[in-house]
Amino acid sequence: MKIEILFEDSYIIIVNKPNNVLIHNSYYARNIKDDTLLNLLKKQFGNDFYPVHRLDRKTSGVLVLSKQKEHVSVFQELFNSDTIEKTYFGIVRGFFKENVLLNSPVKNPDTKLYKEAETYCEPLQNIELKIPVHPYNNSRYSLVKLKPSTGRMHQLRIHMNKISHPIVGDYKYGDRFHNRMFENEFNCSNLFLHAFEIKFVHPFNKNVILIKASFPDNWKFIFEKFNWKVH
C-alpha cells in the first residue's frame, strides 16, 4: 500500500491516512497484525517519522508527522493550544437540521478521567432511503461537517452518539442496525469519518499551511449513490 503524501518540507510530511490502518502499534490494538502507517512509510521512504497527533484506526484523512523526533513537541503545541483548525466530514444516522455547538466532557480510556471537549457540527445534506432499518420502514442519513476545537480520544464519535446521530460504521458507539444495512446494501463496513482539512501557521517558517485530503473510494461511492456533492 502506497501512502498519499499531501505536503512535505524539511520539518514535516502530511499524509492522507487510509481507513483501517493503525498509526503505530499499541496495547489496545495488540491483536492487529497488519502493517502500521509508520511501517508503510518506512518501507516507502526508508526513514522514520513521528506522529504529531493521532487519528483512530478506522478514521481516514489528514495526518501530520514530524521528520525529527525533537520537533514533535513544537508541532504538538499547535494542537495543545488549540491554534490549529481541523475539519472532518461524517455520515450520521438521522436528519441533522441545524448547526450545533457540542460541549460535553469525554472520558479518557487510559486515565478514566473526563476532560472538557468541544465540537462544532454543521449539517450539509441529508437523504431518506426506502430501505427498512429496525425498527423503521425507511432510513435517514445526514452528511455533516465537524470542527473540533479540542482533541480528545474518540471525541467526534462520542459527541455524535450523545445527540443520537451516531456515525455510520462506528461499531463502538454507533447503531449496529444501520451499520449492518450499509454492509449489506452498499458493501461498506468502514467508519464514515474523514479528516478532510487542516490549517495552521508553521512554527518554524510562519507560513500558513492549508491541506485537504481527498475522500476514500467508499465515500465516493456513497456520494454518487446518494447524489451528494461536497465543495
89 DSSP β-pair partners: 145, 194
Listed in sequence order, the DSSP H helices in 5-110 are 37-45, 72-80
Query: pLDDT grade, residue 81 (50/70/90)?
Result: confident
Rounded to 5°, the CA angle 29-35-37 comes to 85
Residues in Cβ contact with 198 at an 8 Å cutoff, skipping those fewer than 6 apart: 14, 62, 64, 84, 85, 86, 87, 209, 210, 211
| pLDDT interval class at 108 (50, 70, 90) | confident
Q: Which residues lie closer than 8 Å to 90 by C-beta, 6 or more apart?
A: 143, 144, 146, 156, 160, 167, 192, 193, 194
Q: Please state, in angstroms and rounded to a whole number, the distance separating the CA atoms of residues 220 and 215.
A: 7
Listed range (34-43, 88-97, 173-182, 203-212) with the worst mean pLDDT: 34-43
Per-residue pLDDT band for 19 (boundaries 50, 70, 90) equals very high
User: Radius of gyration over alpha carbons of the chain, in Å?
Assistant: 18
**98-103 average pLDDT score:** 95
Task: Band the pLDDT of 1: cuts 50, 70, 90.
Answer: confident
State the average pLDDT for the chain: 93
Domain range summary for the chain, segments of one domain joined by +: 4-226
pTM here is: 0.94
**pLDDT over threshold 90, residue 213:** yes
Positions marked catalytic: 56
Beta bridge partners of 128: 140
CATH superfamily of 4-226: Pseudouridine synthase (3.30.2350.10)
For the stretch 130-159, pLDDT in tens is: 999 999 999 999 999 999 998 888 999 999
With a cut of 80, say whether residue 231 has pLDDT above it.
no
Q: Is the pLDDT of residue 125 over 70?
A: yes
